[in-house]
Amino acid sequence: MAEDEGNIEAKGDSTGTSAAISISEHLSAWAKSSLTGLFPEQAENLADVNVVPTGNPEFGDYQCNECMRLGKLLKRPPREIAQILKDKAQLPECAARIDIAGPGFVNIFLSDEWLAGYANDLPSDSRLGVPETGGGRTIVMDYGSPNMSKPLHIGHLRSPNIGSTLDRIFRFLGFRVLSDNHLGDWGTQFGITIMGYRHFGDQEAMKTAPMEELERVYVLSYERGKEDPAWIDQCRGELVKLQSGDEENTALWKQFMELSLQELDRIYGRLGVSFDLVRGESYYRDQLPGVVSELKEQKIIRESEGAQVAFFDDEKLPPAIVQKSDGGFNYAATDIATVLDRVNEFNPDSIVYLTDERQQLHFNQFFAICRKLGVEVEMKHVWFGLMRLPEGAFSTRDGNVIRLEALLDDAERRATEIVKNSSTEMSEEEHREVGRAVGIGAVKYADLSQNPETMVTFTWDRAMALDGNSGPYLQYAYARIASVHDKYVERFPDMDLEKFVILITEPIERTLIVKLMRFQEAVIRAADAYRPSVLCDYLYDLAQTYSTFYQNVPFLKAPEGIRESRVNLCGVVAAVLKKGLELLGIDTPPRI
Ligand code: ARG
C-alpha cells in the first residue's frame, strides 16, 4: 500500500488552499490501494474503487461496497473480504474505525479529532474545503440566449438563472468558463415582426412602450399567418431579405435589436447575470453559406423538395432542415457555424447548452450532425421544464404574457413589505435594499431548488415561505447565525475568539461538522448532475441541522471554551451558507 494515500490533508498545503480532490476521492484511493495490496492478483478489477458518503450516520460517514464485487470475483463471502480489509489494512488517518455491515459493506467512521481539525481549518480557507476539480479545463456555457424583439416573460427566467448558477459552480471548481449569451437575433421572429410592424405599427406607442408595441405587432402578425398562408410566405420573404442584407430590413432589425438589448440589460442586471461573450446568431451570418457547402460536400445534407436537409437513417431521428427552400438558414445552420467557431477560437473541453425541454430534438439532431462532421468536443444539452404560474400556461403567441420584469417588481414589493413589518428599526433605504435582495432571492431560489427537468409552478406562498425550503428562509437563517457573533462580542468584549478552537463535546456538534464537510460533495454533485437543486437541498439541510444545534445546546451560557467553540462553529456555518448562496446568485444581507 502506498504510504501516503490514506492521509487526508483536509486543507491541502499550509497556505490554506484546498486539495485538488475530495475526501471521497481520498478514501477511494485508500480503499483501492489497500485492496490491491491485499489482493494483488485482482489489481485489474480494482481500477475503479469508490467510497461514497453515507446517507445514514448509523452506517458511518463514508461507505465502500467494493467487497461485494470482489467477493463475487474471488468466489468468497464478501464479509470475509471486508474482514481482511478491516484486520490488515492500515486505517486512513482521518478514520477512527471501520465497521462491517450486512453482507459485506464497509462503513468508515471519521474520528472526532480529525473532524474538529477540519472545522478549525475552514475559517482560513477561502474555498471552504471545496477542492479544485476543474484543473483549468475549459467549458463554453451557452445560456440566457433569448429570442430578441419580444419582451421577456417568466419562461425566460430559467435559462439565465440555472445557467449562471452552473457557471459560478464550475468556475468555483476551477474550470475556465466562457459564458456566451447566444441571442436569437437572426431567426423567424424577425420576419414576423417586420411584417407586423409595417402593417400595424403605431409610431407613438413605439416611443412610449416599445417592447409592448413590438410584442403587439408580433402577435397580430403571427395570428394573421394562422389564417393566411400568403402572409406566412411574406414573413419568410422579409426574413430572407434581412438575411441577405436588405437595407430597409437591416435598419428595422437594428432598431428592434437596440430596444431589446436595453430591456435585456436591465432585467439581466437585476438578476445579476452577465456574460463573457454576447454573440448572437447574427454574429455567424457570413459563415452560414460556407457551413452549408461543407455539409453538402461531406454528404451530411442533401436536397429534398428544394431545401437542404440532414437525414439520420442510422440514429432514428427525424430529418432536420438546415437551409429552407427559400434560401433562409435554419436554427441548426447557425448552431453548426457557432460550434465550429467556438472550437476554433477557444478549443474547449466541453460546450453546455441550456434551453427548455422543447429543444431536445433540435439538440439531438444538431449533436448528430456534429458527430458526422467529426467535431470532437463534448457537448451537453441541459434542459429544463417550463415555468408557469398556477393560473395556467402563458406564451407570447397567445398574447397572455406574464412579463419577467413584472414578476421581479412584484417580488421586490412583497419582500419589502415583509421586511418593513419585521424590522421596524431599519431606514427606508435599508428596507428597499433588503427587500430587493430577499425578493430577487425568493424568485431565483424557487426555480433553482426544483429538479430542472420538471415543470415549475411558481407560487408566492412557496417562494416566500419563511418556514420552508425557500430563499428567504435561508437568508434569514444566515442573518440569524451571523448575529450570534455580534451578541457574543457585545457580552464578552475583551475575549479573543480566534484563540479558541472548535471542539466536539456533544453529538450534535459532530453532526453539524459532518454536514459542513459535505459542502464539497454537494458542490461537486451539483456540477456533475448539472443541478443547482442539489446545492439548494444541501443548504436547507445544513440550516436545519444548525437549528437543531442552536436549540439544543447553550451558547452564551456555556462554560468558557465551549462557549467560544460554539460561537466559532456558528461562524463556519455562516461562511458555508454565505458561499453556497453566493454560488446560487443569492445575496445575504447581514440583517433582515
Ligand atoms: N434562442 C433560443 C430560444 O430562445 C435558444 C438558444 C440556445 N442556444 C443555442 N446555441 N441554440 O429558444
- The contacts of residue 542 (CB under 8 Å, 6+ apart) are 515, 516, 519, 573, 576, 577, 580
Domain membership of residue 225 (yes or no) is: yes
165: pLDDT strictly greater than 60: yes
106 and 147 co-located in one domain: no
- For residue 479, give the amino acid letter: A
Ligand 1 centroid to 331 CA: how many Å?
8
C-alpha cell at position 376: 470532437
Q: Does 124 map to a domain?
A: no
Is residue 417 in some structural domain? no
Q: Does the pLDDT value for residue 50 go beyond 60?
A: yes
Determine, yes or no, domain membership for 115: no
Cα separation values, 80 from 90, 100, 476, Å: 17, 10, 51
What pLDDT score was predicted for residue 14?
35
Query: Do 281 and 199 have their domain in common?
Result: yes
pLDDT of residue 18: 54
Q: State which H helix or E strand residue 53 sits in.
A: strand 51-53
The residue among 93, 110, 127 that closes a domain is: 110
Rounded distance, CA 407 to CA 153, Å? Answer: 9
- Kindly report the CA angle at 285 between 279 and 286, in degrees rounded to 5? 120
The CA distance from 586 to 467, in Å, is 18
Quick one: 235 and 319 in the same domain?
yes
CB 136 within 8 A of CB 348: no
Residue 30 lies in a domain: yes
Does residue 530 have its Cβ closer than 6 Å to ligand 1? no
Average pLDDT, the chain: 94
Ligand 1 contacts CB of residue 182 (under 6 A): yes
At 231-274, the pLDDT tens digits run: 999 999 999 999 999 999 999 999 999 999 999 999 999 999 99
How many angstroms separate the alpha carbon of residue 182 from the centre of ligand 1?
7
531 Cβ below 6 A of ligand 1: no
User: 3-state SS string over 444-512?
Assistant: HHHHHCCCCCCCEECCHHHHHCCCCCCHHHHHHHHHHHHHHHHHHHHHCCCCCHHHCCCCCCCHHHHHH
Q: Which three cell numbers stand for residue 331?
A: 436554427
Task: Let me know whether 34 and 181 are in one domain.
Answer: no
Residue 142 CB–ligand 1 contact under 6 Å: yes
Task: Give, for ligand 1, the residue of 162, 351, 359 to mutate: max count of ligand atoms closer than 8 Å to Cβ.
Answer: 359
- Which residues, 6+ apart, have CB-to-CB distance to 84 below 8 Å? 38
Q: Is 359 exposed, middle or buried (0-12, 13-18, 19+ CB in 10 A)?
A: middle
- Domain with residue 245: its CATH number is 3.40.50.620
In angstroms and rounded to an integer, the radius of gyration of the C-alpha atoms of the chain is 28
For residues 152-177, give the mean pLDDT.
Answer: 97
CA 505–ligand 1 middle distance (angstroms): 54
Give tens-digit pLDDT for 130-162.
999 999 999 999 999 999 999 999 999 999 999
Mutate which of 141, 143, 145, 386 for ligand 1? The one with the most ligand atoms within 8 Å of its CB, which is 145
Give the distance, in angstroms, between the CA of residue 176 and the centroid of all CA atoms in the same chain: 15
3-state secondary structure of 2: coil
pLDDT of 392:
53
What would the pLDDT profile of 293-312 be if each residue is shown by its tens digit? Answer: 999 999 999 999 999 999 99
Please list the alpha-helical segments (H only) found in 102-209: 112-121, 158-172, 188-200, 203-208
> Which residues touch 427 (CB under 8 Å, ≥6 apart)?
none
**Selection from 271, 301, 250, 226 nearest residue 411 by Cα:** 271
> What pLDDT does 389 receive?
83
Instruction: Give the model's pLDDT for residue 440.
Output: 98
CA distance 38 to 98: 17
Residues 69 and 210 placed together within one structural domain of the fold: no
Q: What is the CATH number of the domain that holds 466?
A: 1.10.730.10
Which comes out higher in pLDDT, residue 46 or 15? 46
Structure pTM? Answer: 0.94
Spacing, Cα 185 to ligand 1 middle (Å): 10
The domain in which residue 31 lies consists of 3-110
C-alpha of residue 231 to centroid of ligand 1, in Å: 25
pLDDT number for residue 11:
40
Q: What is the DSSP letter of 389?
A: B
Q: Are 356 and 272 within one domain?
A: yes
Tell me what pLDDT residue 399 has. Answer: 43
Nearest-angstrom CA–CA distance, 417 and 484 = 26
- Interval 311-350: pLDDT, tens: 998 788 999 999 999 898 999 999 999 999 999 999 999 9
The mean per-residue pLDDT over the stretch 545-550 comes to 96
User: Which atom of ligand 1 lies at the shortest distance from residue 359's CA?
Assistant: 12
Q: Place 511 in a pLDDT band, splitting at 50, 70 and 90.
A: very high
pLDDT of residue 388: 84
Q: Ligand 1: does its nearest atom lie under 6 Å from the Cβ of 143? A: no
Q: What's the CA gap between 64 and 105, in Å, rounded? A: 6
Are 368 and 448 part of one and the same domain?
no
353 lines ligand 1 (CB under 6 A): yes
* Residue 449 belongs to a domain: yes
What separation in Å is there between the alpha carbon of 146 and the centre of ligand 1? 6
Q: Is 378 exposed, middle or buried (0-12, 13-18, 19+ CB in 10 A)?
A: exposed
| Claim to verify: residue 323 and residue 242 sit in the same structural domain | yes
Q: Is 355 touching ligand 1 by the criterion CB < 6 Å? A: yes
The verdict on 273 and 369 lying in the same domain is yes
Q: What is the DSSP letter of 183?
A: -
* Whether residue 78 sits in one domain with residue 35: yes
H-type alpha helices, 244-380? 247-271, 288-297, 331-346, 360-373
Number of other CB atoms surrounding residue 251 within 10 Å: 10
> By alpha-carbon position, which residue is closest to atom 5 of ligand 1?
145
State whether 167 and 223 are in the same domain.
yes
Percent of the chain with pLDDT over 70: 95
Ligand 1 centroid from CA 280, angstroms:
9
Q: What are phi and psi of 258, to 5 degrees?
A: -60, -45
Does 424 fall in a domain? no
The answer to whether the CB of 149 is under 6 A from ligand 1 is no
Specify the number of domains making up the chain.
Answer: 3
- Atom index in ligand 1 nearest the CA of residue 146 equals 4
Q: What is the CATH number of the domain that holds 59?
A: 3.30.1360.70
Nearest CA to ligand 1 atom 6: 145
- CA–CA dist 83, 106 (Å, integer): 9
CA of 547 to the centre of ligand 1 (A): 42
**Residue 297, domain member (yes or no):** yes
| Rounded Cα distance, 168 and 174, in Å | 10
Of 327, 360, 388, which one is at a domain's C-terminal end? 388
Q: Are residues 460 and 569 in the same domain?
A: yes
Name the grid cell of 209.
412602450
Question: Please, is 496 exposed, middle or buried when counting C-beta atoms within 10 Å of its C-beta (0-12, 13-18, 19+)?
Answer: exposed
